[in-house]
Amino acid sequence: MTFESISLFPLPTPLHRLERLDSGSNCELWVKRDDLTGFAMGGNKGRKLQYLAHEIKASSCDVVVSCGQVQSNFLRQLGATCAVLGVECVAVCMERPYQDLDRKPNEVIGLQGGNLALDEWTGLQRKLIPDGTWDAMDEAIELEASRLRDQGKKVKVIPLGGSSPQGVHAFYEAGKEISQQVDFEFDFIVAASSSGSTQVGLTHYFRGSKTKVIGIAVDPEPEVLDDMVLLSESYVQAGGVGPALTHEDLDFRLDWVGPGYGSPSEAGNLAIELLAKKEGILLDPVYTGKAFAALLDLAHSGEISGRILFWHTGGNPALFAY
């Protein structure tokens, strides 16, 4: 398979130093501004959607079906992509999805406003279903897809967070974009990691180089790492640059999840405030605040040093829900 895309916004996104933030003597901090992709209010999902848009168009479908937690940034941008392509978009949503009954989330806030407030402008149709496991969400997508097929519609299913081989490839290309913006190699790249294609794509690109990619978990489930290995295998099978990644190739840290997915952490909130006050850059409480808190801790402890790049993956609309 070759990976083809449809342009939805201009690239590259800006890459610049964080001049005012003191991160420790042996560090130089940089930021990759994927919050400024600009498409439907920006964020890392836009990159994946350029490739998924091609796949959606090539499928000649009438309707796209996907899923996510209600505040999903991916669904906001998927809704806009489908609107641009002139196809319907239906999203199966849960307020509090979880891995299994023993690990139900304690508290999830931010269930109103934010990304939800934008659906009516793009026409995204949400189907709120009772909370359940991620597997139950997958089953619900299939049910919704067959209901629409029974109505005679041609359906295209897009996986959670756009984490398909196309999503991985988008971030393989994003790694290449960095290499064209600076004439040195970063020592570390730190990014929030959830459905996995951001981390998997960047790790594929930087494998074997000086640059180490660190993914910061925002979900409490360690199984996300197994899913990333499977995602990498599917990328290589689809024609991506192999070999597939193993567990050891992926540096995935679970220490900054805080109270759970969608529940802000104290460290994350402090990181949001710090970056807003020092640099005028806004993060979000679900993904980037926690990832930036991790970067600061890792830099202050000396575990990471040198040129460190924070990949700002967006998510700002959620600020208005918290």
Ligand X SMILES: Cc1ncc(COP(=O)(O)O)c(C=O)c1O
What amino acid positions are annotated as catalytic residues? 72
Region class of 62: left (phi > 0), else alpha (psi between -120 and 50), else beta? alpha
**DSSP-assigned letter for residue 26:** T
Rounded Cα distance, 235 and 51, in Å:
13
Write down the least CB distance from residue 171 to ligand X, Å.
7
Q: Which is nearer to ligand X, 23 or 44 (CB)?
A: 44
Q: Please give the C-alpha separations between residue 282 and each of 110, 174, 216, 310, 317, in angstroms, as whole numbers.
A: 17, 21, 18, 13, 10
Distance CA 238, CA 233 (A): 9
Residue 42: HSE in the Cβ half-sphere, 13 Å Cα cutoff: 21
- Compute the least distance from the CB of residue 137 to ligand X, in Å: 14
Q: What is the DSSP letter of 114?
A: G
**Closest of 96, 90, 101 to residue 70, by C-alpha:** 96
Distance CA 101, CA 122 (A): 35
Phi-psi region of 203 (alpha: psi -120 to 50; beta: other; left: phi over 0): alpha
Residue nearest to ligand X (CB): 315
Torsion, Cα 197 200 205 211, to 10 degrees, reads 120
Residue number, 13 or 199, with CB nearest to ligand X? 199
15-17/27-33 β-pairing? antiparallel
Binding residues vs ligand X (CB under 6 A): 43-44, 73-74, 161, 163, 192-199, 284, 287-288, 313-315
Q: How far is the CB of 215 from ligand X (least distance, A)?
A: 7
Closest CB to ligand X among residues 65, 315: 315
